[in-house]
């Protein structure tokens, strides 16, 4: 399996029933509010920026649909095999999409890289 797919994150099976409720609750609370993570046992409160809260909402929504999540940074470049694995298509099919201009890429020497 490609390196990029080694970091797939999926919910634990015992938590799956609760994921949809959490996703709905998070989605309902997007807006101009303060978001806190609270650890009552240790009396810790951490304020979350809106952008981080939105990432949590997106992850929860994908998990509620049964989709695992992988987080890639914006500037990360993928090989054709990594991109094909991530898209769950064959590498030759991905190369055809690249060559037809349907997916942007650039070359490093003779190797295609997808961003």
DSSP 29-67: T-SSS-EEEEETTTTEEEEEPHHHHHHHHHHHHHHHTT-
Q: Which residues pair with 44 in a beta bridge?
A: 39
For residue 43, the Cα-to-chain-centroid distance in whole angstroms is: 30
Task: Going residue by residue through the chain, which has 115 residues, state the pLDDT in tens, using 9 for 90 and above.
Answer: 446 566 778 888 778 778 888 888 888 877 767 778 888 898 898 988 888 888 888 998 998 888 888 887 777 889 999 889 888 899 999 999 999 999 999 999 999 999 8
Q: Burial letters for 26-59: b for 16+ Cβ neighbours within 10 Å, e otherwise?
A: beeeeeeeebeeeeeeeeeeeeeeeeebeeebeb
Query: Other CB atoms closer than 10 Å to residue 23's CB: what's the count?
Result: 20
**23 HSE (CA, 13 A, CB side):** 16
- The domain spans of the chain are 10-64, 80-113
Prediction pTM value: 0.64
């Amino acid at each position: 399996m490609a390196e990029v797919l080694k970091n797939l994150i999926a919910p634990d099976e015992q938590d799956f029933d609760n994921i949809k409720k959490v996703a709905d609750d998070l989605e309902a609370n997007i807006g101009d509010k303060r978001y806190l993570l609270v650890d009552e046992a240790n009396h810790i409160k951490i304020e979350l920026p809106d952008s981080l809260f939105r990432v949590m909402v997106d992850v929860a929504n994908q998990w509620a649909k049964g989709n695992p999540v992988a987080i890639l940074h914006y500037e990360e470049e993928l090989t054709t095999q990594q991109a094909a694995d991530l898209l769950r298509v064959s590498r030759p099919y991905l190369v055809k999409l690249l060559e037809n201009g349907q997916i942007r890429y650039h070359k490093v020497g003779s190797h295609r890289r997808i961003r």
